[in-house]
């Protein structure tokens, strides 16, 4: 079974390790190293949440194996060109020289280097060459984001052929799950009680433990709804409201209208995100923000918007720009406020000062979502928080609500039974792709798109009521301090919500239900608020985190996560938690 960092160990050993260094180790890194050397093994899979420090762990392990003369060379395999350079720079800090410019045409690298950094695509192009290099001397293979090694049979076969002779293999991942049933090379699988095989990690350090240790930041998801109106190619004008029950086609088109730079929705959300950034900068002076855009045209339009809102330009990183890596590094080293990127700034790219995000892309697979959110969670000191702004779409709300859920790669089930983890879409998103994903087959023109603050998702709970952009109610949530412990974040969110409810009652005055009927959406929102209030009280009473309580309610009552649950399902959970409370009393 997977191993977790001991809860009684300090977050750092002997003190918090700075980003990109291995002079001191975090508790999980130290524990994983000890586990590795307790029983020498050829293959070792480490699954650690984005931002936890997988690179530091791997390089400390590599340094130790070199010093013990277990290995003579190193090959780092990663998904992108940018990550090759990032690995090489980090390795230099611990005295390991990695050549990130190695190509298949070279065949060999200079003797000055301990090894090379290559992409999975490079390996797949010449597996025989890489096998020869692996056999030439005792080699450690570090496979970063190893799930990429299962990208189609050809990639998996190439990785297996190239690195089968390796002395040691270290596989790393923050998101090891895949939707297909292609086994990942050098990963062990165990059969469960249901007869289905699942990947087995040798060491696992999830988001929940990392959050408790202060290694990663707590993330507040700021969800925005709004009214959308568009015209189809046939000339029909359609209207829909994000945040209310819609068909799949309606959701897709309303989502697309929200992200359209011609509408006001994205402008209002970026404006709100910039206000949040200003608040966070009071505690983190160099804090940065990033818009993750769907395509090049949108990224440029958003950058223009940001200049209009802030008076300052934004760094634009496009997937086909040969200077993309340099721009990312320059932004990381600066104190500039905004970065606009076309999806490629996702997996493994480290810009530790990023604390605010705008999820303005149509790519919505759980794998891409987890990797994108991973860009904002790396904590440099305890108490830092992250805020991600996103459309109030059930699919994204579900991903946000299940941030702490652990997944393993599952074999032996039909692909139609999978849960939407579309890795092919993820790979396309990280390629040089300039196209959008949503409803491209249904051309339409955005007529109107306006934003409404919907709610905040945090620790499995929902907080806040709908409010207009720029209103005092919205400001209550945008103004939450940027340096707080997770418990303080939850407490402040509850206080803000209680204040909103009290103000709403005052404004309502003597207005009766017959004068203004409660809509289905308002009724559902009220039920969510009641459930979250009860979960908060139960959390305080039992000491269990909100997310754990929500998970136990789902397990007991069935149904999806709260953002996707019906009024009946939420009422069932309210009754259940009241039943628990009465039993305890």
Indicate if the pLDDT at residue 20 is higher than 60. no
Examine the pLDDT at 232 and tell me if it is beyond 50: yes
**179 has a pLDDT exceeding 60:** no
CA-atom Rg of the chain in angstroms: 24
DSSP 224: E
pLDDT at 344: 57
Confidence of residue 511 (pLDDT cuts 50, 70, 90): low
Please tell me the distance from the alpha carbon of residue 55 to that of residue 246, in angstroms, as a whole number. Answer: 42
pLDDT at residue 269 is higher than 90: yes
**Which residues is 445 bridged to in the sheet?**
231
Task: Compute the distance between CA of residue 411 and CA of residue 20 in angstroms, rounded to an integer.
Answer: 35
Average of per-residue pLDDT across 174-190: 72
pLDDT value, residue 298: 94
Confidence at residue 9, expressed as pLDDT on a 0 to 100 scale: 34
* CB neighbours of residue 238 within 10 Å: 16
On whether the CB atoms of residues 354 and 290 are closer than 8 A, the answer is yes
Best-predicted range by mean pLDDT among 133-147, 175-189, 459-473? 133-147
Does residue 433 carry a pLDDT above 60? no
**Residues whose CB falls within 8 Å of the CB of residue 427, separated by 6 or more in sequence, listed in order:** 148, 151
Instruction: Report the distance separating Cα 366 and Cα 360, nearest Å.
Output: 15
Give the CB-side neighbour count of residue 403, counting CA atoms within 13 A.
Answer: 29
CA triple 88-91-94, angle to 5 deg: 160
Whole-angstrom distance, CA of residue 529 vs CA of residue 124: 51
Per-residue pLDDT band at 410 (split at 50, 70, 90): very low
Q: Tens digit of pLDDT for each residue in 102-132?
A: 999 998 888 899 999 999 999 999 999 999 9
Task: Calculate the average pLDDT of the chain.
Answer: 82
Pure H helices in 265-365? 265-280, 296-310, 324-333
In this predicted structure, the answer to whether residue 450 has a pLDDT above a threshold of 50 is: yes
Least confident segment among 216-220, 231-235, 266-270, 318-322:
318-322
358's tokens: 């705008």
Task: Evaluate if residue 32 carries a pLDDT over 50.
Answer: yes
Q: What is d(CA 219, CA 458) in angstroms, rounded to the nearest whole number?
A: 7
394 pLDDT higher than 90: no
Q: What per-residue confidence (pLDDT) applies to 22?
A: 38
**What confidence score (pLDDT) does residue 2 get?**
36
What band does 423 get if pLDDT is binned at 50, 70 and 90?
A: very low
Residue 282: alpha-carbon gap to chain centroid: 25
pLDDT at 419: 35
Task: Please report the pLDDT score of residue 517 as a whole number.
Answer: 54
Determine the pLDDT at residue 105.
Answer: 93
Quick one: tokens of 165? 């002779």
Q: How many CB atoms lie within 10 A of CB 179?
A: 20
Q: How confident is the model at residue 498 (pLDDT cuts 50, 70, 90)?
A: confident
Least confident range of 262-271, 517-526, 556-565: 517-526
pLDDT given at position 297: 93
pLDDT score recorded for residue 21: 37
The CA–CA distances, whole Å, from 384 to 135, 220, 227, 270 equal: 46, 12, 33, 21
Confidence category of residue 233, pLDDT binned at 50, 70, 90 = confident
pLDDT for the residue 565? 82
pLDDT for the residue numbered 421 = 32
Nearest 5°: phi and psi at 78? -140, 170
pLDDT class for 177, splitting at 50, 70, 90? Answer: low
The pLDDT of residue 103 = 93
Instruction: State yes or no: pLDDT of 412 exceeds 90.
Output: no
CA distances in angstroms from 407 to 106, 175, 266, 319, 425, listed in the order given = 39, 8, 32, 29, 18
DSSP lists the bridge partners of residue 73 as 139
pLDDT for 314: 96
Q: Tell me, what's the pLDDT at 505?
A: 73
Q: Give 152's pLDDT tier (boundaries 50, 70, 90).
A: low
Query: What confidence tier does 416 reach under pLDDT thresholds 50, 70, 90?
Result: very low
More confident residue, 519 or 142: 142
Tell me, what's the pLDDT at 92?
94
Q: How far is CA 152 from CA 2, 75, 119, 180, 511, in A?
A: 26, 22, 15, 9, 61
Angle of CA points 276, 280, 283, to nearest 5°: 165
pLDDT of residue 29: 95
pLDDT of residue 434: 36
Nearest Cα to Cα of residue 256 among 242, 271, 245, 269:
242
pLDDT band at 309 (very low <50, low <70, confident <90, very high): very high
pLDDT of residue 81: 86
Q: Among 70-79, 206-215, 505-514, whose mean pLDDT is lowest?
A: 505-514
CA angle in degrees (0–180, nearest 5) for 525-218-362: 65
Mention every residue, 6+ apart, whose C-beta is less than 8 A from residue 295: 342, 433, 434, 435, 436
What per-residue confidence (pLDDT) applies to 36? Answer: 96
pTM, 2 dp: 0.76
Closest Cα partner for 28 from 11, 44, 43, 45?
A: 11
CA–CA distance from 360 to each of 259, 290, 341, 363 (Å)? 6, 10, 10, 9
Lowest mean pLDDT of 285-289, 472-476, 529-533, name the range. Answer: 529-533
445, 446, 463, 465: which is closest to 454 by C-alpha? 465
205 and 25 in contact (C-beta within 8 Å)?
no
Checking DSSP bridges between strand 461-463 and strand 444-458, what pairing results, if any? Answer: antiparallel
pLDDT attached to residue 181: 59
Q: Are strands 12-13 and 73-78 parallel, antiparallel or unpaired?
A: unpaired
Q: What is the pLDDT of residue 461?
A: 79
- 3 state DSSP class of 55: helix
For residue 212, with 0-12 CB atoms within 10 Å meaning exposed, 13-18 middle and 19 or more buried, which class applies? middle
The DSSP annotation for 10-32 comes to -SEESSPPPTT--SSEEHHHHHH
Does the structure show a pLDDT above 70 at 499? yes
Mean pLDDT of the 352-371 span: 89
Q: Residues 362-381: what's their mean pLDDT?
A: 85
Percent of the chain scoring above 90 in pLDDT: 42
Beta bridge partners of 170: 44, 142
- What does DSSP assign to residue 332? H
Q: Is the backbone peptide bond immediately before 334 cis, with ω within 30 degrees of 0?
A: no
**Backbone dihedral region for residue 217 (phi beyond 0: left; psi -120 to 50: alpha; all else: beta):** beta
Task: Tell me the pLDDT band of 209, cut-offs 50, 70 and 90.
Answer: confident
Residue pLDDT, tens place only, 520-562: 666 777 788 788 778 877 877 787 777 788 888 988 998 887 8
């Amino acid at each position: 079974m997977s191993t977790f960092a001991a809860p009684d160990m300090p977050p750092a050993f002997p003190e918090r390790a700075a980003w990109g260094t291995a002079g001191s180790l975090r508790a999980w890194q130290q524990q994983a190293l000890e586990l590795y050397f307790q029983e020498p093994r050829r293959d070792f899979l480490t699954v650690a949440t984005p931002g936890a420090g997988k690179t530091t762990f791997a390089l400390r392990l590599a340094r130790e194996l070199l010093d013990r003369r277990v290995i003579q060379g190193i090959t780092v395999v990663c998904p992108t060109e940018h990550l090759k350079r990032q690995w090489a720079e980090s390795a230099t800090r611990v005295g390991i020289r990695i050549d990130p410019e190695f190509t298949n045409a070279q065949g060999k690298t200079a003797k000055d280097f301990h090894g090379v950094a290559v992409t999975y695509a490079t390996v797949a192009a010449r597996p025989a060459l890489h096998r020869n290099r692996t056999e030439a001397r005792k080699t450690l293979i570090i496979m970063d984001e190893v799930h990429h090694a299962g990208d189609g049979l050809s990639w998996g076969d190439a990785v297996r052929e190239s690195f089968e002779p390796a002395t040691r293999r270290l596989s790393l991942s923050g998101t090891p799950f895949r939707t297909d049933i292609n086994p990942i090379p050098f990963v062990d699988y165990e059969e469960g009680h249901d007869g289905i095989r699942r990947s087995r990690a040798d060491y696992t350090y999830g988001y929940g433990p990392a959050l408790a240790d202060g290694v990663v930041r707590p993330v507040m998801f700021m969800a925005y709804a709004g009214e959308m109106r568009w015209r189809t190619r046939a000339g029909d004008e359609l209207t829909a409201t994000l945040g209310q029950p819609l068909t799949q086609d309606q959701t897709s088109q309303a989502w697309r209208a929200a992200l359209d730079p011609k509408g006001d929705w994205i402008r209002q959300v970026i404006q709100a995100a910039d206000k949040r950034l200003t608040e966070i900068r009071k505690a983190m002076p160099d804090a940065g923000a990033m818009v993750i855009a769907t395509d090049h045209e949108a990224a440029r339009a958003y950058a223009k918007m940001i200049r209009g809102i802030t008076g300052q330009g934004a760094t634009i990183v496009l997937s086909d720009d040969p200077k993309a890596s340099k721009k990312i590094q320059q932004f990381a080293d600066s104190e500039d406020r905004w970065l606009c990127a076309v999806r490629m700034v996702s997996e493994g790219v480290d810009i530790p000062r990023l604390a605010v995000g705008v999820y303005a892309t149509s790519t919505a697979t759980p794998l891409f979502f987890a990797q994108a959110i991973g860009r904002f969670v790396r904590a440099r000191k305890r108490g830092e928080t992250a805020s991600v702004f996103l459309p109030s779409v059930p699919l994204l709300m579900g991903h946000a609500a299940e941030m702490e859920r652990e997944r393993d790669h599952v074999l032996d089930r039909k692909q139609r039974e999978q849960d939407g983890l579309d890795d092919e879409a993820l790979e396309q998103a990280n390629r040089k792709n300039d196209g959008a994903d949503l409803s491209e087959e249904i051309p339409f023109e955005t007529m109107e798109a306006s934003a409404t603050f919907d709610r905040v998702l945090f620790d499995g709970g929902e907080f806040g009521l709908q409010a207009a952009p720029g209103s005092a109610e919205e400001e209550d949530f945008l103004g939450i301090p940027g340096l707080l412990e997770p418990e303080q974040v939850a407490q402040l969110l509850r206080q803000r919500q209680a204040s909103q409810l009290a103000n709403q009652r005052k404004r309502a005055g003597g207005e009766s239900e017959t004068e203004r009927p409660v809509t289905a959406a308002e009724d559902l929102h009220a039920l969510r608020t009641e459930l979250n209030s009860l979960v908060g009280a139960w959390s305080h009473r039992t000491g269990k985190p909100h997310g754990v309580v929500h998970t136990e309610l789902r397990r007991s009552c069935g149904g999806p996560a709260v953002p996707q649950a019906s009024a009946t399902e939420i009422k069932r959970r309210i009754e259940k938690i009241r039943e628990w409370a009465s039993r305890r009393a």
